[in-house]
Copies of this chain bind each other. A is one copy, B any other.
Amino acid sequence: MSDAQTAQTRAIVMDLHRAYREGDAQRVADLIHDDIDWIIYGPKHVFPFEGPRRGKKEVLEVLAAIGECFELKRYEHDILVCENDRAAVMSRTAFVQRATERTLSLRLVNFIRIKDGKIIEFREISDTFDVVEQALGYHLSVPSIAG
């Protein structure tokens, strides 16, 4: 309903991903609402930091766990759509897997909702089959599922 609210939402998303790129953990933490409702969709048994979390403390633990496994190299917006308190963004990202020094390239989608100038709802989704294969460093043996 409000162009000003939409502009604030856009600014917060830009700020979050700038803070990711710059490794500004304090700024990321400042942008997270105490009552955040957070889900990274994906296989929790492969990436233990995936799945739902509730509240700022749990989310900061997730971000720290991701940072232990991966070093962010790239986070560029491909598509950014904002409306009032909601944003959706598809980004091209790259991470170095610290254990192997290999680079993983992936598209990440974030759906974000803003409350009180902070992120109160966060959903992340990616092409996890591809991400798992990149992280493993080999192709999974899976038959074609046509027809």
> B-contacting residues of A (Cβ < 8 Å)?
6, 41-43, 45-49, 65, 68-69, 79, 81-83, 86-88, 90, 97-99, 107, 109, 111, 123, 125-132, 135-136, 140, 142-147
Neighbouring B residues of A128 by C-beta, 8 Å: 127-130
The SS class assigned to the A binding surface is mixed
Contact between A79 and B127, CB atoms less than 8 A apart: no
Residues in chain B near residue A86, CB distance under 8 A: 79, 81
Q: Which of B87, B99, B129 contacts A147 (CB 8 A)?
A: B99
| Cα(A41)–Cα(B68), bound, Å | 27
Supposing A87-B81, A123-B79 touch, asked if A142 and B136 sit within 8 A by C-beta, the answer is yes
- This protein's copies in its complex: 2
Whether A126 contacts B125 by the Cβ 8 Å rule is yes
Residues of B within 8 Å of A147, CB to CB, are 68-69, 98-99
Are A82 and B81 in touch, CB under 8 angstroms?
yes
CB distance from A119 to the nearest CB of B (A): 14
8 tightest A-B contacts by CB? A88-B88, A128-B129, A41-B127, A81-B88, A129-B129, A81-B86, A135-B145, A81-B83
Contact A144 B111 (CB under 8 A): no
Q: Which residues of B contact A142 (CB under 8 A)?
A: 43, 45-46, 132, 136, 140
Within 8 Å CB of A127, what residues of B?
41-42, 125-126, 128
B68 pairs with A6, CB closer than 8 A? no
**Taking CB as reference atom, which chain B residue is nearest A131?**
B129
